[in-house]
Structure 1
Amino acid sequence: MKNIDKNNLSLRIAYIFESMLAMVVLLAVFLGTIDVLRMIWKAYIVDFQTPVQYSQLNDMLGQILLLVIGVELVVMLSLHIPGALLEVLLYAIARKMLLLPKSEGMADVLIGVLAIAGIFAIRKYLVIKDNSNLNVTSIHYEDCEEGQDCDECEACREAKLKEAKSKH
């Protein structure tokens, strides 16, 4: 809420409401995780003598990807950066491709691959590099002092150095 006009009541209420919705989605993901664990328990522990069918495994993977999309949605609602939106879209397209019926032709797979390639192209060429590469594991809030350039901030330099090392 750092960049929001703190005197504007409607923006503050919207921010709080958005945070509450993110918590509701997170609660739904948590409950869905329990459901997935129950599915895995039933398929692999209770009925261990019966091999898991393709449709069962496909349903489990679809459910897990749906939970991942929910978590990424919470990240998108919390961070407000374009990179988070692109990740939600990426997982949604990947889930859709995973759940394509066997009888579907290659046209749907080709469209999915082109959509994923388009998202990577957007990320590479159109998304500003400042904070667009943040994810849950590398959240870095800038603690630059007033009037201090981001290149002068020690925390920002360390984050850029770590990112450069990880690319090599």
Structure 2
Amino acid sequence: MKNLDKNNLSLRIAYIFESILAMVVLIAVFLGTIDVLRMIWKAYIVEFQTPVQYSQLNDLLGQILLLVIGVELVVMLSLHLPGALIEVLLYAIARKMLLLPKSEGMADVLIGVIAIAGIFAIRKYLVSNDNSNINVTSIHYEECEEGQSCEECEACREKKLQAEKSKH
């Protein structure tokens, strides 16, 4: 919401609703994590005498990748960056490729590989380098000018000076 009218009520409501939806997804991912831990406990601890079947491991990995997609979706909803959308697409395609049945032909695998290669090409040639690989730990990217590191950024220096003044 940096270049948009911040006084627009509908934009603020939409932003708040989007944040609420992101929190709902995060809660669902947390609950899904408990379910994955229960699956691991049952397969590897309780029934340790029987070897884990391929289908059990495939289901477990599919569930874990679904949770990763959920976390990436929350990041995408929070940061509003093209790079975050690309990460969600990469994980979704990887999950789909992992869950392909053994009976399917190699055509589906080839299509998945082509799709991943296409996403990497999009990331390299179409997404700008200034904020395509921003992660959650560097959310202050809006204040730094393009091409500057955080140490060179005037806004970051001012924040550090204000923090030091407030300590004294």
Place the TM-score, normalised by the shorter chain, in its bin: 0.7 to 0.9
Tell me by how many angstroms 1:134 deviates. 1.2
Shift in CA distance, 141/34, structure 1 to aligned 2, threshold 3 Å: same
1:159 maps to none
Between the aligned residues of both structures, percent identity stands at: 84
Contact kept, 8 Å, 2:131 with 2:141, in 1: the verdict is no
Q: Is residue 2:140 matched to residue 1:141?
A: yes
Shift in CA distance, 126/5, structure 1 to aligned 2, threshold 3 Å: same
1:5 maps to 5
How many Å separate the matches in 1 of 2:81 and 2:142?
A: 17
Contact kept, 8 Å, 2:130 with 2:146, in 1: the verdict is no
Extract unaligned runs of 5+ from structure 1: 157-168
Contact kept, 8 Å, 1:72 with 1:88, in 2: the verdict is yes
How many Å separate the matches in 2 of 1:8 and 1:37?
A: 44
Shift in CA distance, 62/5, structure 1 to aligned 2, threshold 3 Å: same
How many Å separate the matches in 1 of 2:149 and 2:52?
A: 56
Instruction: Return the index of the structure with the highest Cα Rg.
Output: 2
Runs ≥4 in structure 1, deviation > 6 angstroms? Answer: none
Shift in CA distance, 31/82, structure 1 to aligned 2, threshold 3 Å: same
Shift in CA distance, 10/117, structure 1 to aligned 2, threshold 3 Å: same
1:21 maps to 21
How many Å separate the matches in 2 of 1:149 and 1:54?
A: 48
Contact kept, 8 Å, 1:144 with 1:153, in 2: the verdict is no
How does the TM-score come out when normalised to structure 2? 0.85
1:154 maps to 151
SS in 2 for 1:142: helix
Mean alpha-carbon deviation: is it higher for 125-134 or for 86-95? 125-134
Shift in CA distance, 44/155, structure 1 to aligned 2, threshold 3 Å: farther
How many Å separate the matches in 1 of 2:8 and 2:103?
A: 54
How does the TM-score come out when normalised to structure 1? 0.85
How many Å separate the matches in 2 of 1:103 and 1:132?
A: 37
Shift in CA distance, 121/152, structure 1 to aligned 2, threshold 3 Å: closer
Tell me by how many angstroms 1:130 deviates. 1.1
